[in-house]
């Protein structure tokens, strides 16, 4: 696809600028992303951690994603290399520092105020793709200047008035320099996340006395809220400029429902001339449909286990999907990625890159605005180390590794 993106490097207001210096003390305290999860649980207000960490049902979908990744074994070959291999990766005609990206996340500023800005700024420094969700806490227009080289945009279905808002957001993303557009396919029905319900989280965010007590005893979160404000759906403000938080939440509920149909994907394909991805693909036939319509990529995903807890793990569905469309489209995977080992597992089984959501939110909870860049550096270092350890001299040689994958999904062939 064409890539006529205007240069846009002006500083956006209120933008954090994380520094990139290796901090031995930081690495000692948080040598892995899961160690940051433990710290985030202690430092964040209880409701914020429950929001960013929880999933559907009893979190069995999240657990399944983790167990499935852990079960994939990579057979090493020695005597091959003694150097860390390069992992620079090309996605849709652009070079990134590695096959790792920031997954789109709804309302991440509820997990940590200002999350979108911190994630975007860190991704720009790390040279990794950053995806802003339309239901994020930062406007499309702010994302472009903060992450000019790595900005992608994710859109939920906004079907009212013949997709008036959705198509307008696409125009805004184009003007802001978004390189890729992701359409969410895996939210056809609204579902309940029990940990959110039990925590008292509502839309709009209205903290009760218990929540206020938790905020006041969580200094980093409280300071971030004072700086960036109460979590809100920033990109929708243009369409309801005079709405208060309650009215805005109701406005978005009325505008956003269901997930895209294939006819609607085709309509957006006609409108958007840059790379287009369908997110939430879990079956080879759906992957075929997306590619036939003209999608440049797909994201194998279960929405991080946050929609339904009975779905296969994406890593188990990945090989069959990659075998079906991997030579015609870019295949990404998310849901459960927590380490460089997980990234290499995804690449070895057919993905071109892995997207991370919860892990970056844990890093914010543990370290505030310093967290995302530390987490990105960890993932890059771990990915290189794992590749070198198994005898792969480049990210592409991960595909040649012998693998034991007990959970690999076998899909029934379509009836003729």
* Helix orientation angle between 209-216 and 219-228, rounded to the nearest 10 degrees: 100
Secondary structure class of 114 (helix, strand, coil): coil
The rounded distance, in Å, linking the Cα atoms of 381 and 389 is 12
CB 287 within 8 A of CB 325: yes
CB 97 within 8 A of CB 87: yes
Secondary structure class of 101 (helix, strand, coil): strand
**From the candidates 163, 303, 374, 405, which is the catalytic residue?**
303
**What Cα–Cα distance (Å) separates residue 374 from each residue in 15, 362, 377, 412?**
18, 11, 5, 42
405 is catalytic: no
Helix (H) or strand (E) holding 375: helix 371-389
Scored b (16 or more CB within 10 A) or e, 228-262 reads: beebbbbbbeebeeebeeeebbebbeebbbebbee
Place of tokens 């287009």: 276
Secondary structure class of 393 (helix, strand, coil): coil
Please provide the DSSP assignment of 243-275 as one string: --HHHHHHHHHHH--S---HHHHHHHHHH--S-
CA dihedral 313, 341, 154, 256 (to 10 degrees): 30
Bond before 204 cis per omega within 30 degrees: yes
CB 282 within 8 A of CB 209: no
Radius of gyration of the chain (CA): 20
On the 0-12 / 13-18 / 19+ scale of CB atoms within 10 A, 323 is middle
Scored b (16 or more CB within 10 A) or e, 84-121 reads: ebebebebbebebbbbbbbbbbbbbbbbbbbbbbbbbb
Q: What residues are annotated to the active site?
A: 303
């Amino acid at each position: 696809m064409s890539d006529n993106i205007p240069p846009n490097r002006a500083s956006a207001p209120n933008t954090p600028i994380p520094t990139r210096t290796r901090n031995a003390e930081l690495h000692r305290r948080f040598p892995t992303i899961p160690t940051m999860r433990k710290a985030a649980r202690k430092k964040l207000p209880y409701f914020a951690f429950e929001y960013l960490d929880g999933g559907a049902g009893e979190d069995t979908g999240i657990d399944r994603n983790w167990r499935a990744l852990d079960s994939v074994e990579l057979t090493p070959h020695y005597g091959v290399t003694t150097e860390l291999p390069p992992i620079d990766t090309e996605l849709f005609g652009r070079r990134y520092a590695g096959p790792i990206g920031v997954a789109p996340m709804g309302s991440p500023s509820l997990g940590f105020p200002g999350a979108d800005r911190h994630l975007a700024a860190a991704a720009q420094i790390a040279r990794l793709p950053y995806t802003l969700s339309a239901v994020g806490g930062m406007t499309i227009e702010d994302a472009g200047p903060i992450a000019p080289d790595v900005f992608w945009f994710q859109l939920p279905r906004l079907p009212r008035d013949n997709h008036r808002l959705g198509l307008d957001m696409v125009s805004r993303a184009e003007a802001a320099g978004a390189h890729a557009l992701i359409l969410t396919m895996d939210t056809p029905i609204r579902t309940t996340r029990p940990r959110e319900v039990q925590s008292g989280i509502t839309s709009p965010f209205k903290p009760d006395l218990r929540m206020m007590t938790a905020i006041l005893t969580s200094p980093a979160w409280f300071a971030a809220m004072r700086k960036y404000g109460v979590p809100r759906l920033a990109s929708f403000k243009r369409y309801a400029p005079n709405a208060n938080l309650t009215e805005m939440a109701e406005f978005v509920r009325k505008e956003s429902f269901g997930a895209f149909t294939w006819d609607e994907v085709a309509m957006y394909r006609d409108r958007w001339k840059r790379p287009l991805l369908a997110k939430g693909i879990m079956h080879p036939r759906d992957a075929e449909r997306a590619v036939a319509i003209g999608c440049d990529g797909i994201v194998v995903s279960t929405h991080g286990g946050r929609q339904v807890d009975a779905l296969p793990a994406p890593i188990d569905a990945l090989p069959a999907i990659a075998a079906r469309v991997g030579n015609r489209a870019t295949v990404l995977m998310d849901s459960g990625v927590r380490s460089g080992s997980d990234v290499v597992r995804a690449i070895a089984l057919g993905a071109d890159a892995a997207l991370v959501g919860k892990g970056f939110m844990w890093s914010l909870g543990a370290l505030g605005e310093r967290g995302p860049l530390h987490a990105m550096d960890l993932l890059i270092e771990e990915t290189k180390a794992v590749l070198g350890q198994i005898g792969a001299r480049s990210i592409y040689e991960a595909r040649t590794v012998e693998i034991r994958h007990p959970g690999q999904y076998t899909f029934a062939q379509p009836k003729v």
